[in-house]
């Protein structure tokens, strides 16, 4: 790690890295040296314990009025396969997995469906909480929350407050992509929606609600865009310490408008995945301890490699996920036994958690 001696010293001293420092790590630094430093920092934070959550993803609707160029999942509402689940359908779907697989986190994400008001979500959350009391609701993207706010003519704070009263526990990091307005325009997002993401998260954190953070890479962004994205999250984390985890995930172009227009023809490969994991660990060192491996778009073996390069959370089991399969990439279901085995295979200790990152069980 000789070429990273200055970086190692800076991180150990608690210094905040600059944009140029991060760009150097993206464009010049040796990948294996980055990985070694990142794993050292991960060991210092949580040792050889690698967490995961028994999770189910509920894509309750695919109707969306945002129509991102990187999404193959959304429908306008007129197609034959457009859908919105009723409360009864949701409860029935959850019941297929809840007891059988010990599900403890429900990730609720769909589209920005213009026909749904806050009462839909309140009714849904209350029903889930009543029927499945041990299930933590990890729900709604910042885009969904912002739309509800506009539709109902109420503040984001009031929306979140009402959702929390109905059963919301934590908020996922979906919708972050890359914060830069010009990049967001190119990928079909409203230019200021990155700033909106940060604002919604800050509101949640100020209310004591914990959230996750993400970054989607491997599309039309630059190294500087990535660096600024990471530093924006770090700045907010220093203010409230409201982020529970960070996940960098590589864009899957299959079936998306970006692919059809020839702007992104293939997804970022394994080396880029590992580089983003390692850099995330280094940038957030001392401020955000949990870096998630994002195995979903990369497979179990890459999930293992991500741990060796600085990740310390596998993410969750997968049941009934529909967004990634819409790109043509089949991910199937992943049960906890596979995760436990995968973690043990690389000499680490699997630790099952809930959506608040509290330990439920250790598998020695």
314-324 residue pLDDT tens: 998 877 544 44
Q: Is 245 annotated as a binding residue?
A: no
pLDDT for the residue numbered 109: 87
Q: Which of residues 102 and 155 earns the better pLDDT score?
A: 155
Query: In this model, does residue 325 exceed pLDDT 50?
Result: no
Please state, for a pLDDT cut of 90, what percent of the chain lies above it.
67
Nearest CA among 237, 246, 236 for reference residue 214: 246
What pTM was estimated for this model as a whole?
A: 0.91
Q: Is 285 annotated as a binding residue?
A: no
Mean pLDDT of 85-96: 94
Q: Is 358 annotated as a binding residue?
A: no
Residue listed under structure tokens 């009723």: 86
Strand partners, 214: 247
pLDDT for the residue numbered 78: 75
pLDDT for the residue numbered 333: 65
Q: Pairing between strand 211-217 and 168-170?
A: unpaired
Under the banding of pLDDT at 50, 70 and 90, the label for residue 252 is: confident
Buried b (16+ CB within 10 A) or exposed e, 278-288: bbbbbbbbebb
Give 193-239 pLDDT, tens digit per residue: 999 999 999 999 999 999 999 999 999 999 999 999 999 999 999 99
Q: Which of residues 276 and 114 earns the better pLDDT score?
A: 276
Mean pLDDT of 167-185: 95
pLDDT for the residue numbered 74: 64
Q: Which two tokens stand for residue 191?
A: 């230019």
pLDDT for the residue numbered 72: 64
Q: Is 125 annotated as a binding residue?
A: no
Cα 161 to Cα 132: distance, rounded to the nearest angstrom: 21
pLDDT for the residue numbered 330: 46
Q: Is 246 annotated as a binding residue?
A: no
Q: DSSP strand E in the chain: where?
A: 49-53, 55-58, 105-108, 136-139, 168-170, 211-217, 243-250, 313-316, 349-353, 359-362
CATH class as words, domain 17-362: alpha beta
Residue listed under structure tokens 């099952």: 352
Worst-scoring range by mean pLDDT, 27-31, 101-105, 163-167? 101-105
Q: Is 221 annotated as a binding residue?
A: no
């Amino acid at each position: 790690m000789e070429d990273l001696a200055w970086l190692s010293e800076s991180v150990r001293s608690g210094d905040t890295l600059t944009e140029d420092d991060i760009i150097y790590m993206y464009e010049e630094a040796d990948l294996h040296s980055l990985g070694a430093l990142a794993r050292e920092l991960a060991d210092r934070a949580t040792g050889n314990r690698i967490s995961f959550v028994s999770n189910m993803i509920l894509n309750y609707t695919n109707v969306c009025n945002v129509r991102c160029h990187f999404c193959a999942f959304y429908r306008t509402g007129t197609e034959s396969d457009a859908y919105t689940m009723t409360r009864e359908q949701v409860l029935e779907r959850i019941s297929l997995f809840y007891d059988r697989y010990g599900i403890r986190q429900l990730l609720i994400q769909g589209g920005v469906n213009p026909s749904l008001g806050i009462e839909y979500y309140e009714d849904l959350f209350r029903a889930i909480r009543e029927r499945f009391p041990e299930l933590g609701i990890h729900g709604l993207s910042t885009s969904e929350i912002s739309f509800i706010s506009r539709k109902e003519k109420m503040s984001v704070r009031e929306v979140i407050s009402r959702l929390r009263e109905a059963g919301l526990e934590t908020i996922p990091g979906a919708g972050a992509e890359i914060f830069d307005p010009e990049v967001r325009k190119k990928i079909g997002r409203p230019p200021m929606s990155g700033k909106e993401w940060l604002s919604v998260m800050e509101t949640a954190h100020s209310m004591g609600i914990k959230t996750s953070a993400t970054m989607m890479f491997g599309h039309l962004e630059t190294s500087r865009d990535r660096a600024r994205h990471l530093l924006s999250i770090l700045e907010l984390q220093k203010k409230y310490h409201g982020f529970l985890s960070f996940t960098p995930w590589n864009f899957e172009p299959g079936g998306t408008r970006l692919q059809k227009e020839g702007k992104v023809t293939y997804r970022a490969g394994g080396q880029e995945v590992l580089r983003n994991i390692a850099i995330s660990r280094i940038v957030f060192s001392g401020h955000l301890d949990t870096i998630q491996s994002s195995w979903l778009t990369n497979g179990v073996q890459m999930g293992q490699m991500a741990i060796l390069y600085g990740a310390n959370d596998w993410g969750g089991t997968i049941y009934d996920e529909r967004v990634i399969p819409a790109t043509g990439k089949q991910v199937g279901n992943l049960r906890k036994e596979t995760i436990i085995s995968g973690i043990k295979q690389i000499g680490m200790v699997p630790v099952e958690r809930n959506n608040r990152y509290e330990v439920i069980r250790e598998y020695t």
